[in-house]
């Protein structure tokens, strides 16, 4: 029995899709490899990993297609994201919903479609792994199960890709902070004096403009981390939220002292 997704959750579904920041990203080898494997496994000329946003269907990876997006009203995957099961259409030219679609009524005259939704941990269907063919056909139950397994693999790649982008952002922030601290370490070296990290004036040895830049960076990243927390499980979210609260509430002197200790800047003064 098919379970249809309520359209009243469309706003939440879009927000879930956007949280992965996958739309309009460059080609990634893992996604390209997956669609090639699926094409061989099902002996089909067209395979695509798609994501459906408010107005369009965007294609992350594909075999046999020369477009990267299309209007949502012409996206068969728009139907796939409405049920937690395989959507199979043996002959789209015989189905009034799709017979007038440009790629059905005209080149390349596609007929067969089968798609399995990409389901997030929250239960939202953000896209699909789909097969298309110029000949009419149907899938066996075993093939439907296999398509579902490939779709779950595609969703896993989406999650991994999102985490990689988060790590890149965090690394960029760390590098910016390190550059600030290294720049000031040169000033500290010239003073030829030891730095007492507990001293009330520990932060005063840094230039005022750098202190402001560092403070703004930390505040900005506290907000960024809070956003990342929304995509994590409750336990981990609680743990990291405490860390974020500490970032927000700790005085600047302590933050600067901690950063100096972490990069070992005080060692040059010994």
CA dihedral 120, 126, 98, 101 (to 10 degrees): -150
Q: Where are the alpha helices (DSSP H) in the chain?
A: 10-19, 29-42, 77-80, 102-105, 141-191, 208-229, 234-249, 252-263
> What pLDDT, on a 0 to 100 scale, did the predictor assign at position 6?
53
What does the pLDDT look like over 11-47, one tens digit per residue?
Answer: 999 999 999 999 999 999 999 999 999 999 999 999 9
Assigned CATH topology for domain 7-161: Beta-Lactamase (3.30.450)
> What pLDDT, on a 0 to 100 scale, did the predictor assign at position 168?
77
> What pLDDT, on a 0 to 100 scale, did the predictor assign at position 267?
39
CA–CA gap between residue 41 and residue 228 (Å, rounded): 36
Neighbours of 248 (CB within 10 A): 12
Share of the chain above pLDDT 90, in %: 54
For CATH 3.30.450.40, the residue range(s) in the chain are 7-161
Residues of the chain with pLDDT under 50: 1-4, 191-206, 240, 243-244, 246-253, 255-256, 258-270
pTM: 0.65
> What pLDDT, on a 0 to 100 scale, did the predictor assign at position 26?
94
């Amino acid at each position: 029995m098919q379970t249809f997704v309520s359209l009243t959750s469309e706003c939440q579904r879009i927000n879930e899709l956007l949280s992965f920041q996958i739309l309009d990203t460059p080609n990634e080898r893992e996604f390209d490899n997956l669609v090639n494997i699926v094409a061989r496994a099902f002996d089909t000329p067209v395979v695509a990993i798609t994501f459906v946003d408010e107005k369009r269907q965007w294609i992350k990876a594909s075999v046999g297609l020369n477009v990267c997006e299309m209007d949502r009203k012409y996206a068969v995957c728009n139907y796939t994201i409405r049920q937690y099961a395989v959507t199979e259409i043996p002959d789209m030219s015989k189905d009034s919903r799709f017979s007038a679609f440009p790629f059905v009524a005209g080149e390349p005259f596609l007929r067969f479609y089968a798609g399995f939704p990409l389901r997030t941990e929250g239960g939202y269907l953000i896209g699909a792994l789909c097969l298309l063919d110029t000949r009419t056909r149907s899938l066996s139950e075993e093939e439907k199960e296999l398509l579902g397994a490939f779709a779950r693999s595609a969703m896993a790649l989406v999650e991994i890709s999102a985490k990689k982008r988060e790590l890149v952002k965090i690394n960029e922030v760390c590098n910016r902070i390190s550059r600030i601290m290294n720049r000031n370490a040169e000033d500290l070296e010239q003073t030829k004096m030891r730095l007492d990290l507990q001293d009330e004036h520990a932060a005063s040895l840094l230039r005022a403009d750098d202190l402001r830049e560092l403070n703004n960076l930390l505040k900005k990243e506290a907000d960024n981390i809070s956003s990342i927390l929304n995509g994590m499980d409750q336990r981990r979210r609680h743990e990291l939220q405490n860390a974020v609260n500490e970032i927000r509430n700790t005085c600047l002197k302590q933050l600067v002292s901690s950063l100096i200790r972490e990069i070992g800047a005080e060692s040059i003064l010994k």
